[in-house]
Chains A and B, each alone.
Chain A
Amino acid sequence: MSKSNRAAFLLISLLVLAGFAYLVVVKLARNDGDALPSALIGKPFPAFNLSRVDDPAKPVTLADLQGPALVNVWATWCVACKVEHPVLNELAKTGVRIYGVNYKDDNAAAQKWLKEFHNPYLLNISDLDGKLGMDLGVYGAPETFLIDKQGVIRHKFVGVIDREVWRQQLAAKYRELVDEAGQ
């Protein structure tokens, strides 16, 4: 092998190795705990036929959701949801549209919670057996989806939305969906 050939071979090997190292480092750095990327990004919000939390006699379907909006999956048994709740209240006050999916919860407890801690939701869907949650790929609470005007899921956030998370990760995305809808 001539000298230039050898240099090229070394360079290529180095590049391949650097590529692998880059992938490993980037993937590890981006692995923020246990948040999974959602398989539903870019897909329409799943259809459902459930009842409302505030009035279990009233049905609620996909047609009742009007994006752009947040769809927040919560439950009274979920401790983290309690932490998140005041932030949702604040967001609702600033005009952010929020729907709730009350996930595998006791409906009376959910009604009590909303009365006691204020209700930031435009509408709350009662997902007693967790079927809608399953269709959404929910594996814990709280989880929050961003849906656009057409009802397509555009983003998912797993965990508690606090002010920091909203400001840094979600506000711009929500704004984008609102702007898009206004056009």
Chain B
Amino acid sequence: MKALLIALLTLTWTLHAAASFDTYEFKNDAERARYQRLTEELRCPKCQNQDLADSNAPIAKDLRQEIFRMFGEGKSDAQIVDFMVDRYGDFVLYKPRLTGRTWLLWFGPGLLLVLGGLSVALLVRRRRQVEAKPQQVLLSADEQARLAKLLDEQNK
């Protein structure tokens, strides 16, 4: 059983590793690392849950080749990313840019957190006020006056 499991795991691992195997000759390790990072940061437009590095789709292969070609032209990372976004839209970025259309994506969670925290703080404050001086918080001025009057009459 264990052997079978290991065999299966090995098999899936090799399949994954073989998913995209291009043979590009890089000038140095730094450039190889740069290529690795870029292809992992950019999303394959065809198979939308894979990055470029991982995808076997023809378009991913073409785009990897294009990235390699742009390396040869001395293009910067920003220029390469712009090239991709100009053609395929913000969608290809796994890390979306901060624009008018994406601010909710970036700040939405923080905003919700702040609102949530504010609600809790207000609730706690109110709870404390009620516990300290119930009448003053729970009753309106009129009601307090009436209560005082009633208590006065009873105490007489």
A residues adjacent to B (C-beta < 8 A):
1, 9, 13, 16, 20, 23, 34, 36-40, 104, 130, 134-140
CB of A137 within 8 A of CB of B89, answer yes
The distance in angstroms between the C-alpha atoms of A104 and B119, with both chains bound, is 58
Contact of A137 among B58, B87, B104, B112 (CB under 8 A): B87
B149 contacts partner chain A, Cβ-Cβ < 8 Å = no
CB of B126 within 8 A of CB of A1, answer yes
Interface string of B43-64 (1 = CB under 8 A from A): 0011010000000011100110
Interface string of B86-102 (1 = CB under 8 A from A): 11111100000000000
Q: Can you spell out 28 A-B residue pairs with CB atoms less than 8 angstroms apart?
A: A9-B119, A9-B122, A13-B119, A23-B104, A34-B46, A36-B89, A36-B91, A37-B91, A38-B89, A39-B86, A39-B87, A39-B89, A104-B58, A134-B63, A134-B66, A134-B87, A135-B87, A136-B87, A137-B45, A137-B87, A137-B88, A137-B89, A139-B45, A139-B46, A139-B57, A139-B59, A139-B88, A140-B59
The distance in angstroms between the C-alpha atoms of A44 and B153, with both chains bound, is 87
The distance in angstroms between the C-alpha atoms of A138 and B59, with both chains bound, is 8
B115 contacts partner chain A, Cβ-Cβ < 8 Å = yes
B residues adjacent to A (C-beta < 8 A):
45-46, 48, 57-59, 62-63, 66, 85-91, 104, 108, 112, 115, 119, 122, 126
Interface-centre pick from A37, A39, A140 (highest chain B CB count, 10 A): A39
B15 CB to nearest chain A CB (Å): 23
The distance in angstroms between the C-alpha atoms of A39 and B89, with both chains bound, is 5
Which B residues lie within 8 Å of A16 (CB)? 115
Which A residues lie within 8 Å of B88 (CB)? 36, 39, 137, 139
Which B residues lie within 8 Å of A137 (CB)? 45, 87-89
The distance in angstroms between the C-alpha atoms of A136 and B86, with both chains bound, is 9
Given A13-B119, A134-B87, 6 new contacts (CB under 8 A): A1-B122, A20-B108, A34-B46, A39-B87, A137-B45, A139-B57
Residue of B whose beta carbon sits closest to that of A23: B104
Residue of A whose beta carbon sits closest to that of B46: A139
B66 CB to nearest chain A CB (Å): 7
Residue of B whose beta carbon sits closest to that of A36: B91
A26 CB to nearest chain B CB (Å): 13
The distance in angstroms between the C-alpha atoms of A170 and B91, with both chains bound, is 24
A129 CB to nearest chain B CB (Å): 8
Contact of A140 among B46, B66, B90 (CB under 8 A): B46
The distance in angstroms between the C-alpha atoms of A34 and B59, with both chains bound, is 15
CB of A40 within 8 A of CB of B48, answer no
Which A residues lie within 8 Å of B104 (CB)? 23
The distance in angstroms between the C-alpha atoms of A40 and B89, with both chains bound, is 8
Residue of B whose beta carbon sits closest to that of A40: B87
Which A residues lie within 8 Å of B85 (CB)? 39
Q: Which 8 A-B pairs have the closest CB atoms?
A: A39-B89, A139-B45, A137-B87, A139-B46, A139-B59, A137-B88, A36-B91, A130-B62
Which B residues lie within 8 Å of A9 (CB)? 119, 122
Which A residues lie within 8 Å of B112 (CB)? 20
